[in-house]
Every structure is written in C-alpha cells, then in structure tokens.
Amino acid sequence: MEFDLSLMLLALPVVFVLGWMASRFDMRQLRMENRQAPKAYFKGLNFLLNEQQDQAIDAFIEAVQNDPDTSELHFALGNLFRRRGEYERAVRVHQHLLSRGDLALDDRHRAQHALALDYLKAGLLDRAEEALLKLDGTRFEGQARLALLANYERSRDWEHAALIAQKLESSGQGSFKGRLSHYLCEQSSACAANNDMAQALQHLTEAMHIAPDAPRPRMDLARLQNQQGQPTLACETLTQAITTSPSAIALIAPLLAQYAIAAGQGVRILARLKAVYAHTPSLDVLDAIVALEAASGAPTATAREWYARHLENEPSLVAAAKWIAGEKLEHEQFHPQVQRALDQAVKPLTRYRCAACGFEAKQHFWQCPGCQAWDSYPARRVEEL
C-alpha cells in the first residue's frame, strides 16, 4: 500500500505537467486558427471597401478554404461573383451551399433566393422562375414574388404576371391595379393582332373595370373601334377618357382629333378641345385644335394665330418654330436654312422623359424601355415639364 501511494505521489507532477503542456498546445493551435480565419476575412473586407473586387474575391476564397463550413463567407463570395458578372461561379457557390445537409433551414432559403438572383442576372429566366417558386412560404416570399413579376414582364407572360400581381396586392404589398390594367391591355393587343376582336374587347372592358381612371384602356378601345370602322364610337370613348383621365389629355387629344375628322364631328370636338386648352394649355392639344380647324377649311393664318397666342402665355421654342414656318422673312431666301436649324433645335424638346430613370424617347411609352417602370412617362413633352 505504501509502495502504491508513493508511485501515485510521483505520478501526480508528471500528469500535471503533461496536462499543462497539452492545454498550452491546444490553446496555441486554436489561437493560430482563429488568427488565420479572421485575417483572411478582414483582408477581403478591406479590399471590398476599397472597391478592389478581384483581391477581395481571392481573400474570401482563402477564407473559405480555411473554414469550408462557414456559410456567411460563401454568401459573401457568391454575391461578389454575381456583382462582377461571373454568374456561373456564383451559381456554383450557391448550389454548393444548397447541397450541404447541415445547412440551417433559413440559410437554405437564403441560398435558394441568391441562386434565383444568379439565374435572373444571367438571363436564365426558366431556371430563375423554378428557383423563385420554391420560396413560397418563406421569409423571402415577398421578394421572390416581386422578382417573379419582373421575370414574367420581361418574358411578356402577362397571364402569370397578373396572377403574381394579384397575390402581391392581396398580401398587402401595395396596389397593383395599374399594372393589372396594363397586362390586360397587352393581352388585348395580342388578341387584336390575331383577329380575335371579341376577346380583345373583353380584356379592355375588364381593364377599365379594374382601373377606371387609367387612360390606356379607353385609348386602346378607341383604336380598336376605329379599326372596326366605328370612328363615332371611338370619339365617344375618347371623350369619356378626357373626363376620367384629365392628366392624359395631351395623349388623348391627337387621337380624338383624328377620329373626329373621320367621323365628321370636327365642330363638336373642336369646341371641347378649345375648352380644355383654355383650362390646361398644352402643345399637343394645340396641335389637335389646329388640325381640326384646318380640316374645317380655316385659312393657314389661323393656325399661326393659335401658336402666336400660345407664345404670349408660354415661352415655347416648339411653338415659335411652328409659327415662323408660315412667316414671310425679310430675307426669305434664308428661310429654309433657318427653319432646318429651328427644327433641329426643338427635336430634343418634343421628346418624352421617364421620371424614374431619365430615359428619353420620341414616343410615349406606358412602360419605360430603360428601367421597365410602368406609368413613369408624363403625358407632357420635355419642353413642358
């Protein structure tokens, strides 16, 4: 018993020393690992803040290699690849995350959302749609539906776009009645192109019901009625549009004048447009008035008087160019050159400009070709803004 006790007393210091050495070794190794991982991470973060994306990607790749289980680094790396346009590499990163069995459910949904964005940016619309549909019932559902809406609009799939817009509105994410109206107008145009006039009319009727104040459904309906040889009915439709959508009078007036001349209702419509112009002066309304008076046999000087009257109240280079076109100059031989210079100068002023992105176009668009925003073009031209 004494022998055993002495051995234990001798072994205790040895065990203590071995334990102390082992703990020191483990602590040193842990400190080294912790030092290496954050170093690569902060190095990448520093490069990212300095907009050195190539170096940031290299640093994050190093950090991921040191700790392949860190999902946040994978997300950061995938987002960097997407921002640089390296969509294939971004897809691989996010697919790798989705393949991990130990990934938390919320991180799995996040990776699914990131993968859908990769496909959208790459223009792989079918794959993006499939990935976005898997996010129903997750915290990314709202974002996924908005992305799906943009996806369907981009591919001109108006029926599915309408379904998503209805879901977004029912979930309280804003009013989509204006967009739904546009979708129905787009479907109506497609039906009219295929000579399915009954279905085209039904779509426009539904569009007017959904958005009674929207100008487009009535304008499209008037075009459809005129194509079917009913200019009088088209005039009535556009006259209603003036009442329901007074802010779009500048878009409605040229069509109304055209159909009124065809229907032989120039006098009645002329009186209506004069009343509108007196309340809301506009170059397009003025042009419609001039066209109606010319059709009724009024002398050319009458048109010039209208433009001169407009200049008294509005400093308009466009109106000045139209006025001077019929004016006799002192040196009439230089009139063509002067007129060409004026016409060239007013061209930018007669364009329409998107209020969302500033994209300018000769014609009015319901959806901006630049930023894809709906109803972002004011009805007035650049000079009148």
Question: What is the rounded distance in angstroms from the CA atom of residue 247 to the CA atom of residue 379?
Answer: 7
Instruction: Report the DSSP beta bridge partners of residue 361.
Output: 352
Q: List the pLDDT tens digit at each of the 385 positions of the chain.
A: 444 555 555 555 655 555 555 544 444 544 444 444 455 555 555 554 455 556 655 655 555 555 555 677 778 778 877 888 888 888 887 887 788 777 788 888 988 999 999 998 888 888 998 999 999 989 999 999 999 998 899 889 999 999 999 999 888 888 899 999 999 999 999 999 999 999 999 999 999 999 999 999 999 999 999 999 999 999 999 999 999 999 999 999 999 999 999 999 988 999 999 999 888 888 899 999 988 988 887 776 677 788 888 888 888 878 777 777 766 666 676 677 777 887 788 888 889 999 999 999 999 999 999 888 999 999 988 888 7
Measured in whole angstroms, how far is the alpha carbon of residue 119 from the centre of its chain? 18
User: Within 10 A of 364 (CB to CB), how many other CB atoms are there?
Assistant: 16
Sequence length of the chain is: 385
69, exposed or middle or buried, with CB in 10 Å at 0-12, 13-18, 19+?
exposed
Please, what's the largest Cα pairwise distance for the chain?
A: 136
Global pTM? 0.75
Question: What is the rounded distance in angstroms from the CA atom of residue 5 to the CA atom of residue 49?
Answer: 65
Question: What is the rounded distance in angstroms from the CA atom of residue 204 to the CA atom of residue 190?
Answer: 12
